[in-house]
Structure 1
Amino acid sequence: MNLFEKKIDEAAALLKSSRFTSAFTGAGISVESGISPFRGEGGLWNKYDPILFDINYFQQYPEKSWVVIKEIFYDDFAIAKPNTAHYILAKMEANNLLNAVITQNIDHLHQDAGSKTVFEFHGNSRQLISMDTGKVY
């Protein structure tokens, strides 16, 4: 058994003996699905000025902000599909090897892959909440 195989066996033993296992995910997991990360090569901050996502800018220039928000979070996300990593986490949950996914992503791909217990740190792109009324859309 080589070192890599040994490490895989150790990780499997840890998962099997764990009483509560969580997976933490961020932008990297969805890149293979065609969703650009915010930072790094091909990141959204290379294409868009981050000020467009600032709450004060949004309140002052909602029309300009909504054009970009629609393009990124609705047009691009609408065609994205879960990838192998999303499906593996969902399968791990179904097999009681994973209790929850905690994600920074707002793309809903974990749920689309079948994960049931997902905590979305930044919310998601499928719900909008009115800043005036708190109503969820």
Structure 2
Amino acid sequence: MLALRYPTHESLYFHNSLASIIEHSFGYVRIDWHPVVIRSGELHEVYGQVLTLLRESGLNRILSDHQLRAPLMPDDQRWIVTDWVPRAVRECGYARGALMQAHDVISQLTNRRITDQLPDRPLIRYFDDLHLAERWLLEA
């Protein structure tokens, strides 16, 4: 089995078939989504691990790479809007999210639907360039 290797400024925190969660020494959490069908249980597991990492590390910024992520089902979209994001804001001070735009148009629409419905949402922006996303995420 090949070992996963990351640059010295990145540390793999968690991974499953759906995503890898990386703690970045520059001060944010990165979620790299894999191109697989999304199952609610695995999705909840990923986001649960993100909450734990935010809480334990004191970080409050997320770079989520949605380029390859499959569309989310309506129940999962609703859960993110009504449960996960409010908890992340309340419990972890989640303040800023850079989202790498999905290649899939349906994924783009579901992602926008989620962010448009967030009540007390963190500042979220969409990007097509990873370096620009990281630069914006680390501002202010």
TM-score (normalizing by structure 2): 0.25
User: Which has a greater percent of helix?
Assistant: 1
Pick 1 or 2: higher relative contact order, CA cutoff 8 A, min separation 6: 1
Higher Rg: 1
